[in-house]
Structure 1
Amino acid sequence: MSAYHFAEAAGSGPEAPLFLVFHGTGGDENQFFGLAGQLLAGARIVAPRGDVSEHGALRYFRRTGEGVYDMDDLALRTGRMADFIAERKGEGRPRKLVGLGYSNGANILASVQFAVPDLFDASVLMHPLIPFAPPEADFAGKSVLITAGRRDPMAPQAASQGLHDYFAAHGARTELAWHEGGHELRQEELLAARDFLASVAG
């Protein structure tokens, strides 16, 4: 039995890209499920539901305050999520493993990448916040797109730029797409994600 409840859509074949999508705080497995099929047509889509409740809002790991993470819980749940993803990958022969996450979903996706750098071929991190120094890791041959709002009160510009610089310094082909708003998703970043995914998932 899987560790997570998840929504799934079959891909175009056993070698179709496997596309993992992760919701934000208060979302669920349906938040980006339909969008995922538009962003990466033909992929097998798996959207796990966060199993931590914060006053009724679903998340992937605990926090003790805004931007203050329970690091022990994050480590535990990062390991569980990495195992879950590896299990889904083992069910087929995907030519690429790609991830997309928003806010809390971007944070768990990034944390999995830190822990298992070889797992994902490419990722889209939308409005992530990593308030700790990531570990040394080799992301050579990997691709990362970070999207962010210049006026995001939850994910400051310096944090977004710092995460971009981290991935770039550790070998990833890294892009950073800004919009002029805050923590909300905007059309221009979805278009940036679509173009990025088209370039990496072939």
Structure 2
Amino acid sequence: MATIELSREHGYLHRVKPGAEGRPIFFAFHGTGGDENQFFEFAADLAPEATIVSPRGDVSEYGAARFFKRTGEGVYDMADLARATDKMAGFIAALKAEHKAGPVIGLGFSNGANILANLLIEKDRIFDQAVLMHPLIPFRPDDNPALKGTRILITAGRTDPIGPAPVTQALHDYLAGQGAEVSLVWHNGGHEIRREEVDAVQKFLA
């Protein structure tokens, strides 16, 4: 069994389980108030041969870890989002090189889905596959032709008060308009993760 380590290298406190050289590297991003443990085992179960990396957000909001600052519910500090996106892109590149990994997979929930989504929006083909669970991108992103062909799954709740359904649909439509291979799976609840989402993620990454 591969050794699971806790590291502070490359700018984030993170948990890592090395996989075989050339195999995928899987980044798991927690929601607000979570940490590097929230989705680590889930990612390891989804991709047992991959290198698993789960960073802890470097922003504290009243003691809750996040990946970037906000000024209110659904109101992002755009300068800090840009900072966090650049920093995380460097972190991902460093870990991919260190582990001599192959394809890059990302999975994030809530705030973790938001930093993952912005990495897709702002960077050139940083992920090969991405799972956005209950994302909120409350702005119209600029076009990014590098998204063409990227496999993306969005999961969401139709009555989610944090990620309203029309905003989720707009993100799906944006990604589809950029040529991404994107699918959207709904459940009838709110911001909680439900079984049908887990099933959809397992099917997507199988």
TM-score, normalising length from structure 2?
Answer: 0.93
Summarize the alignment of residues 6-155 of structure 1 with structure 2, pairs less than 5 Å apart.
6-11=14-19, 13-138=20-145, 139-155=147-163
- 2:169 is the counterpart of 1:161: yes
Question: % of aligned pairs identical?
Answer: 54
- Given that residues 100 and 126 in structure 1 are in contact (C-alpha distance below 8 angstroms), is that contact kept between their aligned partners in structure 2? yes
TM-score, normalising length from structure 1?
Answer: 0.95
Q: 1-side partners of 2:122 and 2:38: how far apart?
A: 25
**Residue 117 of structure 1: how far off its partner (Å):** 2.8
Q: Which string of whole-angstrom CA distances, capped at 9 and with x for unpartnered residues, describes residues 30-83 of structure 1? A: 000011111222111000000100000000000000000000011111100111
Q: 2-side partners of 1:107 and 1:68: how far apart?
A: 12
- Given that residues 98 and 120 in structure 1 are in contact (C-alpha distance below 8 angstroms), is that contact kept between their aligned partners in structure 2? yes
Please provide the CA RMSD for this pair. Answer: 0.9
Aligned AA for 1:74? Answer: L
Equivalent position of 2:184 in the other structure: 176
SS in 2 for 1:178: strand
SS in 2 for 1:101: strand
- Given that residues 40 and 194 in structure 1 are in contact (C-alpha distance below 8 angstroms), is that contact kept between their aligned partners in structure 2? no
SS in 2 for 1:20: strand
Q: 2-side partners of 1:109 and 1:4: how far apart?
A: 15
Q: Which string of whole-angstrom CA distances, capped at 9 and with x for unpartnered residues, describes residues 57-113 of structure 1? A: 000000000000000011111100111001111123333100000000000011111
Q: Which runs of 5+ in 2 are unaligned?
A: 1-8
Aligned AA for 1:133? Answer: R
Aligned AA for 2:158? Answer: R
Q: Which runs of 5+ in 1 are unaligned?
A: none
Q: 2-side partners of 1:117 and 1:21: how far apart?
A: 19
**Residue 141 of structure 1: how far off its partner (Å):** 2.0
- Given that residues 148 and 160 in structure 1 are in contact (C-alpha distance below 8 angstroms), is that contact kept between their aligned partners in structure 2? yes
Number of equivalent positions? 197
SS in 2 for 1:128: coil
SS in 2 for 1:90: helix
Aligned AA for 1:193? Answer: V
- Given that residues 8 and 46 in structure 1 are in contact (C-alpha distance below 8 angstroms), is that contact kept between their aligned partners in structure 2? yes
Q: Which string of whole-angstrom CA distances, capped at 9 and with x for unpartnered residues, describes residues 126-146 of structure 1? A: 000001111110212211000
Query: Match for 1:186 among 185, 194, 201?
Result: 194
Runs of 4+ in 1 over 4 A off after TM superposition: none
Q: Which string of whole-angstrom CA distances, capped at 9 and with x for unpartnered residues, describes residues 135-164 of structure 1? A: 110212211000000010000111111111
Equivalent position of 1:197 in the other structure: 205
